[in-house]
Amino acid sequence: MPKPAKSVARPLSAILPRTTLDRSRHAAPQVFEQLRARIVSMELAPGRVLVRSELAEAFGVSQTPIRDALIKLGEEGLVQIFAQHATVVSRIDLAAATQAHLLRQALELEIVERLACGEADAALEARLTAALARQRALLARQEATGTLTDADCVEFIEADQAFHQAMYVALGLEALWTLVRRQSGHIDRLRRLHLPEAGKAASVLRQHEAVAAAIARRDPAAARAALREHLSGTLGRIDEIRRLYPESVIG
């Protein structure tokens, strides 16, 4: 399994170049969103020390929104805050990852069954098709070059999230999607470590295609089976991931 490039040794300024925030929105949520994305993508790897003054300079804000964003990241278990000392990106917690997996599996097994039992939804089909097309393009690039770059991995995972989010949106369950995302930081980081493994991206695409096809032909049993297989892949390889990345994983 190829390892993604380590980011601990890279200067923070290289990972977070000066960023212009949307001044029509509060700063803290934007800082939170950007830091969370970089933690989940492993650009900010476990063990990275986050210095408030450096973050404030990178985002062009005072330390108050930086503090608020770090507190929210701490609530999700993605950073550890040591009072008067430092804030550090946390290691991946397998117990938290397992709980997030169980939550998502319980919700999405019900969701795909409802979708497969309901009426055809052109908007859902279009969103699923768009997400699959993005993943196919990235997989074709991997086959041409022999690898998924860090940027490709991030885009592939974004398409993965868009695929799943579309199913929640189709049933008016946006609030549940938000809940799932808040709980998924640890399992998402495991998936990021697993994705570069040979055949993994192709497997994800096949599983997504199977879910979409089962929904389209109104086959709830097949939709549930495909979804269960899809969500179980990373946790089924946890021993190997933990062996390869002992500095990143606890539990």
pLDDT tens, 131-149?
999 999 999 998 898 888 9
Q: Is the pLDDT of residue 189 over 70?
A: yes
Q: Is the pLDDT of residue 162 over 80?
A: yes
Residue 71: both structure tokens together:
């507190």
Q: Is the pLDDT of residue 23 over 90?
A: no
Question: What are the extents of the domains in the chain?
Answer: 12-90, 93-250
Q: Which of 1-15, 35-49, 75-89 has the highest mean pLDDT?
A: 35-49
**216 phi and psi, to 5 degrees?**
-65, -35
Give the pLDDT score at 242. 87
Sorting pLDDT into bands at 50, 70 and 90, what band is 1?
very low
Is there a shared CATH topology between the 12-90 domain and the 93-250 domain? no
CB atoms near residue 10 (< 10 Å): 14
| Beta pairing partners, 80 | 88
**What's the whole-number mean pLDDT along residues 106-114?**
98
Separation CA 101–CA 13 (nearest Å): 33
pLDDT in tens, 190-222: 999 999 888 999 999 999 999 999 999 999 999
Give the pLDDT score at 7. 43
Give the pLDDT score at 83. 79
Reported as type and span, the H/E element at residue 101 is helix 94-117
Within 8 A by CB and 6+ apart from 17, the residues are 58
**What's the whole-number mean pLDDT along residues 147-175?**
95
93-250: CATH topology: Four Helix Bundle (Hemerythrin (Met), subunit A) (1.20.120)
Sorting pLDDT into bands at 50, 70 and 90, what band is 9?
low
**What's the whole-number mean pLDDT along residues 152-160?**
95
Average pLDDT, the chain: 91
3-state secondary structure of 41: coil
Instruction: Of 114, 125, 208, give the one whose Cα is nearest residue 161.
Output: 208
Give the pLDDT score at 123. 97
Give the pLDDT score at 19. 73
For 171-179, the CB contacts below 8 A with 24+ separation are: 171/111, 171/114, 171/115, 173/111, 176/107, 179/103
Instruction: Of 72, 74, 62, 171, give the one whose Cα is nearest residue 116.
Output: 171
Q: Is the pLDDT of residue 157 over 60?
A: yes
Overall CATH class of domain 12-90: mainly alpha
Separation CA 209–CA 128 (nearest Å): 9
